[in-house]
Structure 1
Amino acid sequence: MTSPTDLRVAVIGAGPAGIYASDLLAKQGVNIDLFEQMPAPFGLIRYGVAPDHPRIKGIIASLHRVLDTPTIRLLGNIHIGEDITIAQLHEYYDAVLLATGAVADRDLDIPGENLNGSYGAADFVGFYDGNPRFHRTWNLTATHVAIIGVGNVALDISRILAKTANELHTTEIPDNVYQTLKTNQATHIHIFGRRGPAQAKFTPLELKELDHSPSINVVVDPEDIDYDEASIAARHASKSQDLVCQTLEQYAMREPKDAPHTLHIHLFENPVEILGEDGNVVGLRTERMELDGTGHVQGTGKFTEWPVQAVYRAVGYRSEAITAVPFDHGTAVIPNDGGHVVDPAGEIVPGVYVTGWIKRGPVGLIGNTKSDAKETTDMLIADALAGRLTPRTATGDITEYLEAQGIPYTTWDGWHKLDAHERSLGSAEGRERKKVVEWDEMVAHSRS
């Protein structure tokens, strides 16, 4: 039997999933090194939430408190599988917990997906959130834009495209993002969903906040407000879903407001092809759907072509494989039994655990992430108490290896330095923060 206080655990990924798991382990007395590929922590909270949502980014305050825990050490700017392998980590740690999330785009699998002007949502989010791994500029010459998907990422993208650059300049966006957004020519943004209001995955507040901007006129066709018996039951079973339906109904009934950008929400329209000409997007073809009585939809055979010059595919994120770790490429998750990583034969991989989106797929909110982390960490602690973990063998500290290899890792103290620098950049312009975009610059400020 190994006491939790004798354990050293490597948690891979300093987003919410990894931080919540670290918090639960630390409360049991476990010592944790929290590894992060980026020079800065917080994952999708820093690089996946639209910059005009400071309320949601307030989650960072609670994550800060966790990372202030003395038994949690942040080690950033380290690529697991390249800078150090999972096998090498096992020399320094009794267990490895993977929480690397999902940052790539899922495929839509329709003709025309690879045309110029067809974009994955993750790429655009990475651009406007100043993620150093993504583009520094973006083509915003399209006047009519289609966004495929009825979740919050689709709302974020539509809002960024429908607001003016000056509205967004008060946020933490970097200079390159602000200058690019000033060139935005979009006047009509179309969101497409294949099912009805009772199945839309928006959260009520996000949907309602679309209308708060004086630049945005939200339009819903009254014919898209439709329910069958199963849809009514789904609406009544969830207060959140009922609020989404109410808001969509209000948009459908009201008079249009005078605004420079119109945001059309289309329901019961299934995208079947992105249309191209000379390799560029020139339209989107959809099939009209109808409810079948069970809350699902079926095609009507009626097709519409929408003249758009850009298409954003917001149909979900996709996790990426980690070197030497089992991975299901079909579902894009690490195979697991609820916490343990399992191999292709279904056998538990000793000492390796998984939590968050790379465990269950990119679904659920913060509450799901917390309960998910508890399920996994309970398994890890139970294995330790039952003597099922192989003790670490290395006598030195992992930082000795990193320094010997010349890996310029960053730390929690380094994040405070970068944080102070970004805040000083923002303060000079009357803003709370302005993000540093360049990777090497982030590392330099963190290690100054």
Structure 2
Amino acid sequence: MRVAVVGSGPSGCYTAQSLVQQDPDVLVDVLDRLPCPYGLVRYGVAPDHEKIKSLQNNLRTVLEHERVRFLGGVEIGPGGVPTARLRELYHAVVYCVGAATDRHLGIPGEDLPGSWSATEFVSWYSAHPDSTADGFVIGARSAVVIGVGNVAVDVTRMLARGLTELSPTDMPHPALTALAASRVTEVHMVGRRGPSQARFTTKELRELGSLPDAEVAVDAAELALDPAYLDPSALAAPQRRNVEVLRGWAAAESRPASRRISLRFFLRPVELLADGGRVGAVRFERTVPDGRGGVRGTGEFEEIEAQLVLRSVGYRGMPVEGLPFDAESGTVPNVDGRVVQGCSAVPGEYVAGWIKRGPTGVIGTNRPDAKETVTSLLEDAPTLVHKDLPEDPLDALRAAGAEPVEWAGWCAIERAEVELGASLGRGVVKLPDWQSLMNAVHGNVS
């Protein structure tokens, strides 16, 4: 049996791993539209989180398996290989394409210059080749990060870090240079609900308090609007630990520091205000708990100065050509990973990861999720393998206009990034654009 896995992030790699572990004869092609594997581990995990980024070593073992083949640079869908053609080339296709776009606030001024999604900011400092944005921190003195999840904590931390801490990372050199020259001294991370409902993990939260030359400020009176903050005994352990960290910061005395991180709660953004044609402030409405797990507005408003606004309020899956799509959840309808159209399973088509369940969980959540999908696929295998296939799908992909980057091409990119880092007096430094990546694949490195 030949299986195509579309997407080489954690869900795609865990799907390939589960397939080869459970079926001794299956052949798996892991396809990705980027020439680099690992998905959000490479392009989403913050550059200073080296322990999490080391997960690439585990994913690498999967992609180097003798019955797994990495084929990067292969676009599936409009402008590339049609999904219908992919189904002709493989007995089964598993889509592990994640949640590719961010949610919007839907408020006036959101599109002002200086207002960005956290996704765009992360793509910039992670050297995603699709990133064309620049100038995030130019001229900014105060930044507002809207959201209280781990991505919000990541971008807050990147804005508050200095050159000494960022230089050893694999951050692309233009982003490193820009952040090192940043004049941002105030970063406000703002949530519309209370501290007991924040989505960040305690480990990520604590990191903010360990940044050199940065102070974390929390208003005890604002925190006290949350009944669970006053008595956290009924909270689950992760939320209780978050509250304990915030309590400590609220009680701490202010200390001199060149950067200040303010954690704000119970503020709902209602408008981004312009100043000289760019964002100059964010207008918030004060909220209070509504007694049902949500919040309601009070009619009281506050403005926070900001020349840079980063929204981090969640991700959404995008439709996949030829597959059904639930616009409300941003997922492909499925039962245990089997794609379903109406009441019937679509033969040979499967999903895993965020496009299957929505943007929830941590990286490790993708392992059991992928195993569930693979179990469904292998149950269906007897009816799938009767289809005749071309001798090697790679030839057909090339005939369809694709120019796959095989594993040797990815290894050439890795070598070029080591050489670039050495030339800059740093460690590994990512190549930041399509041209430099493809030059490395073809050995044209300058």
Under TM normalisation by the shorter chain, which class is it? over 0.9
Match of 2:431 in 1: 436
* Change over 3 Å in CA distance of 1:229–1:221 after alignment to 2: closer
Taking the TM superposition and a 5 Å limit, the aligned residue runs for 1:125-136 are 125-135=122-132
The alpha carbon displacement at 1:349 in A equals 1.6
Match of 1:85 in 2: 82
Q: Deviations over 1:244-285 (max 9, x none)?
A: 111111111111232111110001111122222454212111
User: Match for 2:338: what amino acid?
Assistant: H
Q: What CA distance in whole angstroms lies between the structure 1 residues aligned with 2:57 and 2:229?
A: 38
The alpha carbon displacement at 1:34 in A equals 0.3
1:381 aligns with 2:375: no
Q: Deviations over 1:315-340 (max 9, x none)?
A: 11222222222222332222222311
Match of 1:3 in 2: none
2:201 counterpart (200, 203, 206):
203
The alpha carbon displacement at 1:296 in A equals 2.9
User: 2:214 touches 2:257 (CA, 8 Å); kept in 1?
Assistant: yes
Match of 1:26 in 2: 20
Taking the TM superposition and a 5 Å limit, the aligned residue runs for 1:219-238 are 219-226=217-224, 236-238=234-236
1:137 aligns with 2:131: no
User: 1:219 touches 1:264 (CA, 8 Å); kept in 2?
Assistant: yes
Q: Deviations over 1:393-447 (max 9, x none)?
A: 3332122123334532111222222112212322344533100112132123234
The alpha carbon displacement at 1:234 in A equals 7.6
* Change over 3 Å in CA distance of 1:79–1:234 after alignment to 2: farther
The alpha carbon displacement at 1:295 in A equals 3.8
Aligned-partner SS, 1:27 = helix
Taking the TM superposition and a 5 Å limit, the aligned residue runs for 1:164-179 are 164-179=162-177
Q: What CA distance in whole angstroms lies between the structure 2 residues aligned with 1:285 and 1:45?
A: 34
Q: Deviations over 1:59-93 (max 9, x none)?
A: 11111121121111100000001321111112221
Q: Which runs of 5+ in 1 are unaligned?
A: 1-6
User: 2:194 touches 2:226 (CA, 8 Å); kept in 1?
Assistant: no
Q: Deviations over 1:342-393 (max 9, x none)?
A: 22x34322111011111121111123211211221111111114x3x36443
1:356 aligns with 2:353: yes
Match of 1:4 in 2: none
2:57 counterpart (61, 64, 68):
61
* Change over 3 Å in CA distance of 1:32–1:272 after alignment to 2: same
Aligned-partner SS, 1:189 = strand
Aligned-partner SS, 2:429 = coil
User: Match for 2:334: what amino acid?
Assistant: N
User: 1:231 touches 1:295 (CA, 8 Å); kept in 2?
Assistant: no
User: Match for 1:382: what amino acid?
Assistant: E
Q: What CA distance in whole angstroms lies between the structure 2 residues aligned with 1:136 and 1:278?
A: 20
The TM-score with structure 2 as length reference comes to 0.93
1:14 aligns with 2:8: yes
Q: What CA distance in whole angstroms lies between the structure 2 residues aligned with 1:208 and 1:341?
A: 40
1:320 counterpart (318, 325, 330):
318
1:146 counterpart (144, 147, 169):
144
Match of 2:408 in 1: 413
Q: Which runs of 5+ in 2 are unaligned?
A: none
Between Structure 1 and Structure 2, how many residues are aligned?
A: 439
User: Match for 1:130: what amino acid?
Assistant: A
Q: What CA distance in whole angstroms lies between the structure 1 residues aligned with 2:365 and 2:378?
A: 20
Q: Quote the sequence identity (%).
A: 39
The alpha carbon displacement at 1:228 in A equals 5.7
1:40 aligns with 2:20: no
1:393 aligns with 2:388: yes
User: 1:14 touches 1:41 (CA, 8 Å); kept in 2?
Assistant: yes
User: Match for 2:68: what amino acid?
Assistant: I
Q: What CA distance in whole angstroms lies between the structure 2 residues aligned with 1:291 and 1:330?
A: 25
46-55 or 422-431, which deviates more: 422-431
Aligned-partner SS, 1:212 = coil
219-228 or 60-69, which deviates more: 219-228
